Amino acid sequence: MRVGICCFPSFGGSGVVASELALALAECGDEVHVVSSSRPPRLAEAPGVHHHPVDGSGILEYGLFDHPPYTLALANRLAQVVRDSLLDLIHVHYAAPHAVAALLARQMLAQSAAASRTCPVVTTVHGTDVTLVGAHPNYSDVVGWALRGSDRVTVPSYALQSEVLERFALDAVEVIPNFVPVAQGP
């Protein structure tokens, strides 16, 4: 299977889980394409793992934007990777901006000559994307839209599942607990 994984390049929970998942999938023989602004620190070089950096800063010379429009650059990069690497699935970690960008990428591909290359979007929310970002009135509607537009939504705990179901009125949210690679140690 060819899997795209989108995450923050951080030592935080979502970046660690996404990186370890990418490595484990590659070890099982899957081809994994990680899309993030820079290489996540836990994403080791490994056969079957490819990193695709996202750089949204090039547009700043234009002078219109105060900040790089990262979500747009990410959507564009995801669409490129889906099309060029023939991905079967996009798995995003964190609802905004990653699920938003994945849904934009899917819509872009559906309207292009590469319409046959659209693929399902799985969104894993990790906590603050629901309890902080998703609860903020400036972002709650777009987070809900992204979750409802995802083909599957997963969470690491039953408590977060309850909150997502209640806050965003989703039909189904699957609990997949985070894992600890015991052999590695802390």
| CATH classification at residue 110 | 3.40.50.2000
pLDDT bucket at 81, cuts 50 / 70 / 90: very high
pLDDT at 78: 97
Instruction: Find all residues with CB under 8 Å of 162, minimum gap 6, and list them.
Output: none
Which of 40-49, 66-75, 145-154, 167-176 has the weakest average pLDDT? Answer: 66-75
| Average pLDDT of the residues in 29-45 | 96
**C-beta separation of 92 from 123 below 8 A:** yes
Q: Which residues pair with 2 in a beta bridge?
A: 31
Asked if 52 contacts 77 with a C-beta cutoff of 8 angstroms, the reply is yes
pTM of the model: 0.91
Q: Report d(CA 161, CA 127) in Å as an integer.
A: 10
Give bridge partners of residue 175 from the DSSP assignment.
155
* Contact (Cβ atoms closer than 8 angstroms) between residue 111 and residue 143: no
Query: Which residue range forms the structural domain that includes residue 130?
Result: 2-184
169: left (phi over 0), alpha (psi -120 to 50) or beta: left
Q: What average pLDDT does the segment 164-186 reach?
A: 84
Q: Grade residue 116 by pLDDT with cuts at 50, 70 and 90.
A: low
Helices (H), 62-152: 70-85, 100-110, 128-131, 140-149
Q: How many domains would you assign to the chain?
A: 1
Take residue 160 and report the two structure tokens written for it. Answer: 């977060």
Q: What average pLDDT score do residues 101-107 get?
A: 97
Q: How confident is the model at residue 154 (pLDDT cuts 50, 70, 90)?
A: very high
**Token pair for 123:** 């969104």
Q: What is the mean pLDDT of residues 59-79?
A: 85
